[in-house]
Structure 1
Amino acid sequence: MMKMKLAATDGPARVTFEPGGVVFALAAEEFVTLQFDPSLASSVEINIWPNGISVWLPYPGQSDYVILDSDDHEVARLW
């Protein structure tokens, strides 16, 4: 499995996983990690704007995407 770290480096930020609309509010320096099949890496789309990160996941319903907190514990599973 591949892990991709998404961090709020410049202050509070929202991380939204689409197309499901799952949102995490992060304080400055907090992060979540997206764990997924590495064969899908080239199809994951990330958009960054002030105070936010949007992650578009390919093939909803056909692959597992796991969201981990900063302690590497599962906090959500997206299909």
Structure 2
Amino acid sequence: MTDIKLVAADGPARVTFEPGGTAFALDAEESVTLRLDPALAPAVEINMWSNGISVWLPYPGDGEAVCTVLDSDGQELARLW
């Protein structure tokens, strides 16, 4: 599995996973980790701005979970797809 860490480095931020719209509010310096199959990593698009991060994921192909979102302690927050 591949992990991509997303951090609210400059202050509070909202991390949104698209196309489903699952979102998490992070305080300054908080993070979430996107865990996914390495073959899917090249298809992930990450856009950042001053108070948010948008993560565009590949559309699911077979209905199974494409990725998992973990909190900073490694606990599962959401399973996407």
TM-score range, shorter chain: over 0.9
Structure 2 equivalent of residue 17 of structure 1: 17
Structure 1 unmatched ranges of 5 or more: none
Contact 2:10 2:50 in 1 (8 A): no
Structure 2 counterpart of 1:38, one-letter code: P
CA displacement, residues 26-66 of structure 1 (integer Å, 9 cap, x when unaligned): 00000000000000111100011110000000023545210
Contact 1:19 1:60 in 2 (8 A): no
Identity %: 68
TM-score w.r.t. length of structure 1: 0.95
Structure 2 equivalent of residue 77 of structure 1: 79
Structure 1 equivalent of residue 46 of structure 2: 46
Please identify runs of 4+ aligned residues in structure 1 that moved more than 4 A.
Answer: none
User: For 2:61 and 2:53, how far apart are their aligned partners in 1?
Assistant: 22
User: For 1:25 and 1:64, how far apart are their aligned partners in 2?
Assistant: 22
Q: CA RMSD in A?
A: 1.1
Structure 2 unmatched ranges of 5 or more: none
User: For 1:23 and 1:59, how far apart are their aligned partners in 2?
Assistant: 17
User: For 2:8 and 2:40, how far apart are their aligned partners in 1?
Assistant: 24
TM-score w.r.t. length of structure 2: 0.92
